[in-house]
Structure 1
Amino acid sequence: MHPDDQARTFLGLPEVIRTGTGAQTEHRLRGVDGRYRWFLGNLQPLRDSAGEITQWLGTNTDIDDQKRVQEQLRRQDQRLSQILGQAPAIIATMDGPEHRYAFFNEAHRALMDNRAILGKPIAELLPEMVEQGFVEQLDHVYQTGETFVGHEVPILPVGSRPGAPSLYLDLTFQALRDEQGQIFGVLAFAVEATERVRARQSAGALAAEVGRRDMRLRRMTEALPAVSFICAPDGTMEYLSPQWYHYTGQTTELTTGDIFTALVHPDDQPEVRRSLRLALMHGRPWELQYRLRHHDGLYRWQISRGVPEYDAQGQALRWYGTLVDNHNQKELQNQLQRSEEQFRFMAESIPQIVWTTRPDGTLDYFNQRWTELTGRSVAYGLEFGWTELLPPQNREQITANFMAGIRSGTDYEQESQLLSAQDGRYRWFLHRASPMRDDAGNIIKWFGTSTDIDDFKQASQQLEARNQQLARTNADLDSFVYTASHDLTQPINNMAGIFEELTRTAYFRDPDAIQLIAMFERALQQIHQTIHDLSDVVQLQRRHALVPAEDVSLAALVEEVLGSIREQSTALGAEYSLDFTAVPTVRFVRPNLQSILYNLLSNALKYSEPGRPPRVQVSSCRQDGVPVLTVRDNGQGIDLERHGSQLFQLFRRFHEHVEGSGMGLYLVNRMVQLNGAWLEVDSQVGVGSTFRIYFKASES
């Protein structure tokens, strides 16, 4: 119920219940579209044989259209009263055989010397009217319906002194009839003719005054923001205000009804002609909408209204009307209709369940996808809702989450299962909804979708199971590598000790023994290094899981790494250029980032171009908001066309003349990936290499 109507509607309810008298009220109720409509509420008692009230019967009858008509009539009456009140004529209506005043305009009020006359009989107010025979004329008109017309009728002004001059009126008494044709009152219409009588010899002055009055009426008409017109009973135009010619661009008077063939849109002409013909035939008011050609050649929507003036016999003498441009309102209405049609088409076309609710969460729309996926009708869904299709064990919790989202007024999202008609089992759906608000921020509707994510859910569960299996496999492999490296380290150390003792105490006559000894030592070193590298891989994984990421100062960390390779840098004459102004810090596991920089900077020295001092640039910047750390050298470079696909593989080496295990770049790439970053490499043989580490945007 509309808030403005609640107090008035319910204020007398206790008294009605107590007395058992019944009641009627008019109030506004909000409909499914969110708009209020007028209803007539009727509350009546139901009694038993002893006269005791057993129940109350209440009804609400939609009277919105009647109320709108009443409001329109009230406005029309108000406009008519305003027009009549400003008219230069004396106008009044008197009801019943006693001729009690029911209406009078300001001119009549002035004539009555501003007396309170409403509801009082004329004979009581103006005894002189009885003496002059006017009340007798009113009786005759009221009883017979015959119109009385008097010209230059003399009357004495109300409250005038004896001997005061009379006023002269052109007076008309006309019977007023109800819808059944019964006379219920008399209309008195008078135009003061005193000046005309007193200045009969001065016809020129009289004509000038009449002209001035006519000019005032025309100016009032021409000031209206609408076209005014008068037409004869057959529809022939007798008058068109200047607004017509400004609007249509016509320059000549219309003498016939050719307005329709000349200016009304061809598609609207048949209906307009039919409606006007019926209105003119039966003497009824009309209200029409049609398109009229504007002076620019475009057709614009109009509202045309016409009201008849009747004679004493109730026949239409002429029609008074207006023509108002309502093109913008009509276009807005059409646009809203098209928008609604487009929304429904879109809602019925997308492969999701589309639904809407009222502000309280009550469902009021489902698209046909609901029926396809659930096998339930739209009517079923609106009556029982989607909660009937939820798993019973989760129904209460899911429903509570939905209502909590509605009450919060924020975007709603929830996953749940719904019983599907396609395979007869519960399938997973993702429900989402957003509120629509009015200009004041109040929620007027919720728009939501339900998306079938069952296949995705099944795939996610399978992927999760596979990930868990892979995690267990990786853990087993890590344990194996760790155990193997630990178990192999001692035998290798024993072999190295035995071989060292052998070379110290044994005597070898073979001249190739020295070369074989060197080869054996290198093999032992390679085995030992391989075991160490495998252990590093396992330790890297474990360190990442145990050591949290932190904000790392790039300048401090790079200086620390350069300090560890300072002796080698000095020996090669290496120069370093550092710039971390753009991105001073990054979020990373510090030991991992230290190992990455150590590998890249030490490789810049290890694989420097012979005869050319190493030049290494380390800098940071942002690319599309992403922090980037760049290490650029002028070393030997890598043939990416040949080795690019193997760049980060285990034990892959690209410069055989330099000792190494082929684990460095693998470890660098692995540490970068573990921290959610990625690595890009540009390299040219004989020119140098550039390594770029792209960090996650939030890690700076």
Structure 2
Amino acid sequence: MDSAPRQTPADGFDDSGREFRTLVESTAAIVWSVTPDGVFSGEQPGWSRFTGQGEAEYSGWGWTNAIHPDDRERSAKAWNEANVGGTRYFVEHRLRRHDGEWRDMLANAVPIRGVDGAVERWIGSHTDITAERRLAAALDETNLQFAALADNIAQLAWMARPDGTIVWCNRRWFDYTGWAPGRLEGADWASVHHPDHIERVRGGFYAAVAAGRPWEDTFPLRAADGSYRWFLAQAVPVREAEGGEVQKWFGTHTDVTRQRAQEHELALAREEAENANRAKSEFIANMSHELRTPLSAVIGYAEMLEEEAQESGETGMLGDLAKINGNARHLLSLINNVLDLSKIEAERMEVFLETFAVSAVVADICAAVQVLMAKKGNRLVVEMADDLGDMHTDQVKLRQCVINLLSNAAKFCENGTVTLEVRRATDFGRDWLTFDVRDTGIGMAPEQLQKLFQRFAQADSSTTRRFGGTGLGLAITKAFCKLLGGDIAVTSREGEGSAFTVKLPAIATATVVETAIIKQVPAAERAASQGVVLAVDDDPSSRDLVSRFLTREGFIVRTASDGLSGLETARAVRPDVILLDVTMPRMDGWSVLTALKGDAELSAIPVVMLTVIDQHSLGFALGASDYLLKPVQWGQLRKVLDRFAPNENALVLAVDDDRDLLARMRGVLEKAGLGVLTAENGREALALLETRTPDLILTDLVMPEMDGFAFIRAVRARPATRGVPIVVLTSKNLSRQEFQDLRRDTDTVLSKRQVDLPDLLDEVRELVGSRRQGGQPLHSFAPAAARETSGDVS
């Protein structure tokens, strides 16, 4: 060592170390220096401020008194190893702060060597890591709690990397599969899947991973004993922040074997019950037919005997023969009612549509019931609007419905007034005829109204004894109303009378008809409707509800009660949309969907799954266009069907210099049944407009040769295209003036960065549909955050 060693920062931070001293005092860490043997000497301001020790206390080895007693031995060992080897000193220990609190510190020191290489000083620091250590301890505790919770839930839980590689499973997974915990690393999870399902499951899972969307599927997994059980798998991506990158995947497998078995048993039991009910209805229908033949003979012979008795002067026999004839006709009427009811239950009731004048039919009905009215001294009042016009429906069934209501009113009213009011109105975009039958008779109590339309039931037993009847009339009337696309309602107050309202569409579509010959939809009816929908469901109530709702919304509805019938009906009717259940006899919904998408002539028809089975992933993988769960929300169903409304021959002109985007738009629009013309700039688009006038123009703004602004002005200047809807799809940041100009000249302004192609397709459908229905172009501007591009909004 030199006789006059050079000054170092450890020498008390004198004037020659002024810059170093300033640096030391400004840092958050405690900076200190010691002699080669670890002795503090000179001024140590950082250490003194933190520990509260004065120079006399920390000098020499006194500084070690600030280290926690339990950590001193470990710290000394680390120091000795570093000092002997001349290496870096690095250790964590607790240091007492001036207020007495022990803080976790990271101690770090390096040797300062002279020109001869010998260690002259050590420069070190202490950094407070208490917060980090406490957070780590809390995370460790949280992880332990999470692991304990995950190991004790009923599901098989797991986590995976962003690419789908599984990195953790809970104890349930290992218990079920028989895997050893060490086998997880690098293991192929597909090895426990059933070979008949693995490709579908693998494809669905990795498609969800690629898209960063939740995954759900149902499939069997092999247990440790080699048996298989069914599991509902669900996984969600975990992101660091909303809209951020996927950090990991968390998933569960829930055992649904018992539920599937119960669903299968219920489906079998329901099928057996429906078969038994169908057999009963068939028997009643056949038996009713067999009874009508001899009864008709009895009536015929009774009428002949009446004529012969009158001719021969045997007037004493006329009364008895009239009773025979009357009772036989009453029996025949009852049998006819039972026959109608059995046909409805067996879905063999046919609808014969014809066009007729409503006022003429009402006049005939009133003439037919006059005798019944007069029998109890009732007065019939008819109120008909002047604009009733024509009706296209089953006239026989309409007459039977109204006559049943008038007959009931006459039967339960004496010396009163029965009013028939008929009016026509437009509702839900369709014309409807309403037939109101009001009486001033005995009325009904609320508890009687609850079972009014039940078959073989009347208000109460006293009503049957006093007025007669079987209770079939109103049940058949309600069934006929539904069959014709309408419904019946009633209001009543005991002692004040009743009011029945039948509401039927002016142009009926057979919605619940199931016949051996599937009737096609006439072109004129199809064009006048919102579209043709085929509902395939084995549940009669579900078919009825869907049919009633869609018919009211202006759709033509065809139904099928099983998968095979659904395929046959689809081939014959060629619907615009198919609503498909999953659990059905003979052929389930998955098989039907596969068959539809495999048929070149039917594959383009959108299929919407409407079921209680929550297997969205499978439905979309097999080609479904949408997936709705029962009980259906009618507004949601209508919104879905609007997306698939037919737009035959509708033409869209798409203008954009981005060829890739133009190709994607063409694919989406053509798949939706729209014709598409494309151009890469405004000048090319104007040339196309000389030969074709589209139903909608979709344009970018920033393009070569002629930009979107100039193109829009040119379109609005041409008489032939002045009223064509224009949708602007751009990524340009618009000024306020540019945005105001676009609002005046276009229908919608959308941002490329905020609108995906499905949303764009919905917008195109809405505008094309409005134009096709003869409405004015829609100027639909949503809030700026969603759709507008103005100022710095893109």
What is the TM-score of this pair, normalised by structure 2? 0.44
Task: Please identify the structure whose Cα radius of gyration is greater.
Answer: 1
The structure where strand makes up a greater share of residues is 1
What is the TM-score of this pair, normalised by structure 1? 0.48
